[in-house]
Amino acid sequence: MARLLASGDTALVVEFGDIIDRDVNARVLALADRIAAARIAGIVEMVPTFRSLMVHYDPTRLLFAEIKAHVTGLMQDLSAVQHAARLWVLPTCYGGDIGPDLDDVAQATGLAPDEVVAIHAAGTYHVYCIGFLPGWPYMGDLDPRLALPRRENPRVKVPMGAVCIAQNMTGIYPLESPGGWHLLGRTPARMFDRRRRHPVLLSPGDRVRHLPIGRDEFDRLEAMALAGTLMLEPEVVAT
């Protein structure tokens, strides 16, 4: 059963497990929804992660025993409620100079590069949580045939929009940053764009698919993204 732990005097952690698991994550997100709906005065913000929910609160308004009691009450009959999710289809150009690890991944997995692309693009990925960088989505689960440890030598610079994999996860770099994941391609979709009203594109619980596109189409959409005119809308799907 879940553990309620104090992380200092300003945060409560509700720990549902210590594994990466869809059911565990669904319960995390369900509890976050319930707490948000209860509108408890003194709760500052909530951070859902793979397997726990961190509730940041103001200790001058809520004592630990009080928030613990509130949250314990809201955890009764908590199930991984099925609710509608947003599905994003992200155009993605694989391989070549913008997917420099595609051939290495193919070699390491014993697959042809085309098969790696087909397997990656066939998945509908669940956004477990956002973290590491502003707007970085931890998405899974990756097909086990593509599971590889992180690169031994992380790159000093990974470009914005790089679509990448490591272990059973797939991600997208929101900013240029150092990184150790395997780069399969790039999407012109911006995970983080400070010009937008909502700078971060994805939310925990969203679904993501990658739609393979050619280099010309990538260049056209990337130019739109640079100009701030690439608008992506999700569709709402039952989960």
Partner 1 sequence: MSAALKVVQPGLSTTVQDLGRIGHQRFGIPVSGAADPTALRAANIVVGNPETTAGLEIALTGPTFEVAADSARVAVAGGDSDMQVIPADGGEPRRVPALESVRVTRGAQIRIGAVSGSAVACFVVEGGFDLPLFMRSHSTYVRGGFGGLEGRALRAGDTLALKQASAPERGEVRLAGLDLKPQRTIRVVPGPQDDYFTPEALATFLAATYSVTREADRMGLRLDGPVLAHAKGYNIVSDGIAPGAIQVPGNGLPIVLLADRQSTGGYPKIATVASVDLPALGRVSPGHEIRFEAVTVEVAQALRREHEARMAGLAAGLEPVRGGALDPARLMGENLISGVVDARATGLVGA
Query: Mutual orientation of helices 22-38 and 64-74 as an angle, nearest 10°?
Result: 110
Site membership for partner 1, residue 5 (CB under 8 A): yes
Site membership for partner 1, residue 130 (CB under 8 A): yes
Site membership for partner 1, residue 122 (CB under 8 A): no
Map residues 52-81 to x or -, x wherever contact with partner 1 holds by CB under 8 A: xxx-x--xx--xxx----------------
Minimal distance in Å, beta carbon 110 to partner 1? 27
Map residues 198-227 to x or -, x wherever contact with partner 1 holds by CB under 8 A: -xx--xx-----------------------
**Binding residue for partner 1 (CB under 8 A) from 18, 114, 219, 235?**
18
**Sites of contact with partner 1 (CB under 8 A):** 5-11, 13, 15, 18-20, 44-54, 56, 59-60, 63-65, 129-136, 138, 174-175, 192, 194, 199-200, 203-204
